[in-house]
Structure 1
Amino acid sequence: MNIIFSEVKNEIDLNESFELRKQVFIVEQGCPIEEEFDEFDDLNRMGKDSFHFNVYKDNICVSTSRILINKMLDKQSAKIQRVCVLKDYRGSGIGLFMMSHLHRFLINKNISNITLSSQDHAIEFYKKLGYTEIEGEYLEAGIIHKKMYINF
């Protein structure tokens, strides 16, 4: 069993990320495609204010995510977004593997203020990682979410 965390840096990896997001968010959860993809999914922006990541298990893309970095004056904060795991791999530790590597990536960039919008079913997962709820529930793409944060 070979598990690899990889930053997306080319069109092939980006397309694998997109296919996984389509499967999870559009097919499984019924999110509108026009709400799933935006300007931060452009390969030309990657490495500047957006970073995309894939996790591969035995050469299969089983998880994906992206980070948006917000630079304000001398402080930086980040928002983790679009975290998903292929259905057959949920509950196997892949989500924890992804989040651990995302945290390490941000710590290496000296970013300690991290937010995310958790779907209702994943709130306990993020709480176990140390995240705290900061706002009440809201609907996004017809799914209940809560904004959460962590500081390192």
Structure 2
Amino acid sequence: MSPVPVSYEVRVADGPADREACFAVRKQVFVVEQGVPEDLEYDAYDAEAVHVLAERDDGVPLGAGRLLYGRAAAGKTGGEPGVGSLGRLAVVAEARGLGVGVALVRAVEEAARERGLTAVDLGAQTHALGFYARLGYEAYGPEFPDAGIPHRAMRRRL
């Protein structure tokens, strides 16, 4: 059965209420569904990150993601200048298959371009490699565990 079309918008989170909506999506997807410990899901990078939020027209949050850049991205990208780090991409179960994930990735990429970045790295859960590959990301390096979940590093030049 195909998902029912839903009207939504994706934008950079603006203010505490938007950030809390992003965190609520992440909690539902990563902590509740995937069993990631809450103390691993939220980190010091959240304070410096650019968060993106997908919301239905009625304000119900559907998805979230974040961009780390500058000092915040250095630990994730090996300190390579001009490279940001896309992370914490999450879409609630009822919104999967609607294009929300693609829209969130593109919003993070646009935020990266606006900050002068030339590439975006990410650590993809291995089940999501195909999703990111379809969006132009290329895997590199060995598989690694993150919160007990297998991942691979991927990059896309902007």
TM-score of the aligned structures, taking structure 1 as reference length: 0.88
Tell me which residue corresponds to 2:99.
93
After TM superposition, list the pairs within 5 Å mapping 1:47-126 onto structure 2: 50-58=49-57, 59-70=59-70, 75-126=81-132
**CA separation in 2, counterparts of 1:57 and 1:74?**
36
The structural deviation recorded for 1:123 is 0.4
Structure 1 vs Structure 2: percent identity of aligned residues? 27
**CA separation in 2, counterparts of 1:98 and 1:37?**
19
Structure 2 gap ranges (5+): 1-5
**CA separation in 2, counterparts of 1:37 and 1:118?**
17
**CA separation in 1, counterparts of 2:91 and 2:80?**
34
Alignment of 1:3 onto 2:14: no
**CA-to-aligned-CA distance 1:33-54 (integer Å, 9 cap, x gap):** 1110111223xx3xxxx21110
Query: CA 1:128–1:11 in 2, change beyond 3 Å: closer, same or farther?
Result: same
| Runs of 4+ displaced beyond 2 Å | 70-76
Structure 1 vs Structure 2 CA RMSD: 1.8
Structure 1 gap ranges (5+): none
**Aligned partner letter, 2:112:** L
Query: CA 1:38–1:131 in 2, change beyond 3 Å: closer, same or farther?
Result: same
Aligned with residue 138 of structure 1, among 144, 149, 154: 144
Query: The residue matched to 2:141 in structure 1 has which SS?
Result: coil
Alignment of 1:15 onto 2:17: no
**Aligned partner letter, 1:118:** A
**CA separation in 2, counterparts of 1:114 and 1:36?**
20
TM-score of the aligned structures, taking structure 2 as reference length: 0.85
Query: The residue matched to 2:69 in structure 1 has which SS?
Result: strand
Aligned with residue 148 of structure 1, among 138, 154, 157: 154
